Amino acid sequence: MKGSGKRRTAYQWQISKRSDVIAFLSTIFPYLKVKREQVEILLTHLKLEASYVKKHGSVTPEVVESRQQVVDKLKALKWMDSVESVETRRTEAIIH
């Protein structure tokens, strides 16, 4: 597929093992600014869930509910970030 030459090559990688996800996010956490709050919520949830499942060996309705709450929080934060980004661009356009 030919492009206009103005786009950069994009790469995608994936981590699927929970312990690897926790290790990766814990490693980058001190350097985050924009996504720090979202990663903090996710790390807290992943660590609690990992210890619960390790002790009890199964996923309960409470764990499922907790997962949904995390998803809802992350979606809300993502939405807030996008609204703030639009407002920032509008403000910068007015100033310039």
| Position 53 pLDDT exceeds 80 | no
Query: How far, in whole angstroms, is CA 76 from its chain's centroid?
Result: 11
Domain boundaries, the chain: 35-95
56-64: long-range contacts (C-beta < 8 A, 24 or more apart)?
A: none
Write out the two tokens for 36: 């720090």
Mean pLDDT, residues 31-54 taken together: 84
| Position 31 pLDDT exceeds 90 | yes
Query: How far, in whole angstroms, is CA 94 from its chain's centroid?
Result: 31
What is the spatial distance between Cα 54 and Cα 41, in angstroms, rounded to a whole number?
20
Which has more confidence, 71 or 6?
71
Predicted pLDDT at 28: 95
| Position 42 pLDDT exceeds 80 | yes
Predicted model pTM = 0.60
Predicted pLDDT at 45: 87
